[in-house]
Amino acid sequence: MSRSSVARMISVSITSRVHKFSTLQPSAASAAEKFYSRVRQNGGNIEKALAAVRAHLDPSCVGEVLTRCSTEQSLLGLRFFVWSGLQPGYRHSSYMYAKACEIFEIRRNPRVIRDVIESYGVEECPLSVKAVKVVLNLCKEAKLAEEALWVLRKMPEFNLRADTTAHNIVIKLFCQKEDMDSAEKLMREMSEVGLYSDMITFVEMVKGFCNVGRLENAYQLIKLMRGHGCVPNVVVYSALLDGVCRNGNMDRTLELLTEMEKDGGHCSPNVVTYTSVIQSFCNRGLTKEALGILDRMIACGCAPNRVTVAALLEGLCKKGQLEEAYKLIDKVVSEGSVPNGECYSSMVVSLMRYKFFDEAVMLFKRLLDCGLKPDGLASSLIIKELCTEGRGLDGFQFFDEIEKMGCLLSIDSDVYSVLLHWLCLHNHMIEATKVTRTMLDKGVRLQALYADDIVKHLQKCGDNELVSLLSERLR
């Protein structure tokens, strides 16, 4: 957009009609109204006008000003957003960047990014590197790689020099776009102007190369890091390892894992690294190899967590290797890595997923009989499926036992309605009344899908007060 076009745009914003606010009197004007008044009334350098406002700046205030600017004053609203992001004691959160992108529809209208930068030049207003980074972060939130690159190229016109952080934002955007040629070019340009790539640069580049299947380029970056004095750590190695796993090269995966274990120190694989490898082997049905990785993991002093165990259990149940799955639970529980309640809950979920329903029910019952607290997912799946299978009374018994353990809050709210509906349809009104009262005590809302049937059957009990209270909780 030409300078004259931007000037006309600013002029239109300044002379647009006054928005009607709430009934607040001027003496009780909110901070947002004070800031918005300066934005609306001042042309030229609005930053100086805003600096004179004595009002508290917080996310609520910023959001309200942006909303008021959204219709006819988007350019000035973005200028306010940039200015507010630089004020002492306040920084935009990721939520505020997302909100600004939504309010000004930046993804749909990326041209506003260029317009706001050009407006500073038209008015000959100073622009700082920090202000540019606010704009770049808007590009990052909106995933606008080309616009972010344009902003980077525009900085010298304001006598500004982009730093490594600014370059990293743009490089990440091109990596996400899977345009690795552009990302690689930017990385070279950094070196040419005396900037050094940091760990963030290398991690994003490694992820990007892996995403497009250019694994050799990713490996070369690891070597390049050492030449730049940037020592590879577990984060960059894990990014490479994840890419190698996703590309299905399991032999290379083991080689890289061995290299990490050999290097040790900051390169030592952690629980996330090992779990990622285990999941990759399990996804390919290589459960024996996955269990071997678990042994390596423990031997290296890295204890598995629940995610690790859940991945292995799912892989074993998928192949019908239930005996191996139970042996695995005994092993990790005996070593104190993961509590047995968590292990058995994960086992129940895996059994349900791969249609070993009767086995899952028996295991769930043993879990309760031993006084172990099941997690919400396992409990929800079991009770819902029992109702589907016509065994709602068994589901109620589990529900009752879970309540006595104090675990009901972890159950999906849908479960109450599903169970109550089954009990009502089959005229188990004593049990239905108990579930209803539990719902009322815990503030659980009745699903509208089941409401008519449930209310009709509860009315048969003659407890109109109960029906009235439940009806008020419809969602």
Tokens 């317009």: give the residue. 115
| Contact predicate 72/6, CB 8 Å | no
Tokens 């992001």: give the residue. 85
Q: Is 158 exposed, middle or buried (0-12, 13-18, 19+ CB in 10 A)?
A: middle
What are the residue boundaries of the structural domains of the chain, listed by start?
Answer: 1-162, 175-266, 270-372, 382-475
Domain spanning 270-372: CATH 3.80.10: no
Q: How far is CA 432 from the centre of its chain?
A: 38
Across 280-289, 349-358, 432-441, least confident range:
432-441
In CATH, the architecture of 175-266 is Alpha Horseshoe (1.25)
| Contact predicate 75/81, CB 8 Å | no
Task: Using alpha carbons, select from 22, 21, 20, 86 the residue that is nearest to residue 51.
Answer: 86
Q: Can you give the pLDDT at residue 5?
A: 47
- Identify the residue with better confidence: 441 or 99: 99
Confidence of residue 314 (pLDDT cuts 50, 70, 90): very high
Across 224-238, 361-375, 379-393, 409-423, least confident range:
224-238
The C-alpha atoms of residue 144 and residue 78 are separated, in whole angstroms, by 16
pTM of the predicted structure, to 2 decimals: 0.75
Task: Using alpha carbons, select from 2, 234, 242, 249 the residue that is nearest to residue 114.
Answer: 2
The C-alpha atoms of residue 120 and residue 289 are separated, in whole angstroms, by 60
Q: Can you give the pLDDT at residue 359?
A: 97
Confidence of residue 473 (pLDDT cuts 50, 70, 90): low
CA torsion, ordered 172, 177, 178, 184, to nearest 10 deg? -40
Residue length of the chain: 475
Q: Could you report the per-residue pLDDT of 344-390, keeping only the tens digit for each? A: 999 999 999 999 999 999 999 999 999 999 999 999 999 999 999 99
Q: What proportions of the chain, in percent to the nearest 5, are helix, strand and coil?
A: 70, 0, 25
Q: Could you report the per-residue pLDDT of 164-219, keeping only the tens digit for each? A: 999 999 999 999 999 999 999 999 999 899 898 899 999 999 999 999 999 999 98
Task: Using alpha carbons, select from 285, 398, 396 the residue that is nearest to residue 348.
Answer: 398
Instruction: Express as a percent the part of the chain with pLDDT over 70.
Output: 92
